[in-house]
Amino acid sequence: MIRDNVLALHAYVPGEQPQEAGWVKLNTNENPFMAPSIADAVAEASTDALRLYPDPLCTELRAALSSRYGVPAAQIICGNGSDELLTLAIRATAGEGDRITYAEPTYSLYETLAQIQNAFPVPVSLGPNWELPNDDLVLVGAKLTLVANPNAPTGTPYSIGQLDGLAGRVRGVLLVDEAYVDFGAETAIPLIERHENVLVMRTMSKGFGLAGVRLGFAFGSPALIEALYKIKDSYNVDRLSQVAGVAALKAFEEAQANNREICGRRDRYAALLRERFGWHVWPTAANFLLADPSPRPAREVHEALKSQKVLVRYFARPRLETCLRITIGAEAEMAAFVSALERMVG
C-alpha cells in the first residue's frame, strides 16, 4: 500500500514539547516575546467570518510584506510555515532520482523532504569551522541547492558575497533558508534581482515569536514564484494566520528591538558558558548557541538538565554528538538553565 521510499523513510523528529507546566524550554528556538497587538488583532478577527475560506492569495499580507521588504507582491508567496514552502520548492524543482544538495550538518528536514519526493539527497560536509563548501556544492550539479543562513544548528552566518557566487555557479535553484536571519545574518533578498534561480525563504516563527501560527513567506523571481503557486494547496494559509502576519509586520520595530535584546543575551551567556564552565561555544548569528560541554558527554548533560525540567536539544548525529543546542530564552529561563548547570557541577 505504501511506496518503498516512504516505508524506508526516517521521519523528521521535532523537539520535545512537554505537556505539563514548569519546564524551562530551550530546545526548539522559540522566541520568548510576541507583540501583544498581534493577539489583539487575532482576537478581533475571531468572528463569524471564520466559516468562510481565507484569501487564497494572501493579498493583504503580501502587500504588507512587499512594503516592508521592498519586493513586488507578485514575487512573494506565503505558506503554512516555511516548512510548507520548502516542500513546494522541492516538488517544483526535483523529480524522482534528481539530486538535491546541502551542506551538512544542517536542518535535517531537508533530507527528509528530498526522500519523500524520492529525489536523491547529496549532503556535503561543512568546513572544520562550519564554513560553506561552495566548490563542493557546485560539483554536485543538483536541481536544488539548500543553504540555511545562518545555518542551523551551528548558527554560522554566510555573507551575501558567498551566496552571490554560489547562485551564479549552481546548475539549478539556490534556496536560501533565512529562518534565523533576524538575529544577525546578512539577507540574500537583493540576490533575487540578480539571479533568476534564487529563492529566499523566511518564517515568522523565530524573529516575530509566532511559532504557533505557522506562517512562512518566500521571495523569488516571477518564474519561481509562479511555479510554487501552481502546486500549493488552494487555501494554505488560514484567516487568523494572515491577520497575525499583518499585525506582526505593523509591530516590526517592536519585534526587532526584542531580537536585539536576544542577541545581547546570547552573547552574554555564550561568554558565561565559556568562562564559568569551560565549554566551547561557536560564534552564532541565530537565537541559539551550539556548545560542546566536553569532557562531560553532551548526552549526559542533556539528560541531567532534563531531570531538572530544563530542555535543551541534543543531536545524535555525526559532528554534533558532542554538542548541545541551547535556545536563548527570556532572562529568567537562561538564569534557570545556568542554575541547573551549577547544581550539576556543584
Give 10-residue mean pLDDT values along the chain (346 residues).
91 89 96 98 98 98 98 98 98 97 97 96 97 98 98 98 98 98 97 98 98 98 98 97 98 98 98 98 98 97 97 96 98 98 86
Q: 19-33+253-345 has which fold?
A: Aspartate Aminotransferase, domain 1 (3.90.1150)
The pTM of the full predicted model, rounded to 2 decimals, is 0.96
pLDDT of residue 236: 98
Residue 13: its pLDDT value, please? 86
Which are the contacts of 74, defined by CB distance < 8 A and separation ≥ 6?
222, 225
CATH of the domain spanning 37-250, picked from 3.40.50.2000, 3.40.640.10, 3.30.450.40, 1.10.510.10: 3.40.640.10
- Residue-wise pLDDT tens digits, 107-122: 999 999 999 999 999 9
pLDDT of res. 346: 61
31 secondary structure, DSSP code: -
CA-CA distance, 208 to 36, in Å (whole number)?
Answer: 11
Helix axes 222-231, 81-93, angle to 10 degrees: 100
Structural contact between residues 43 and 341, judged by C-beta atoms closer than 8 angstroms:
no
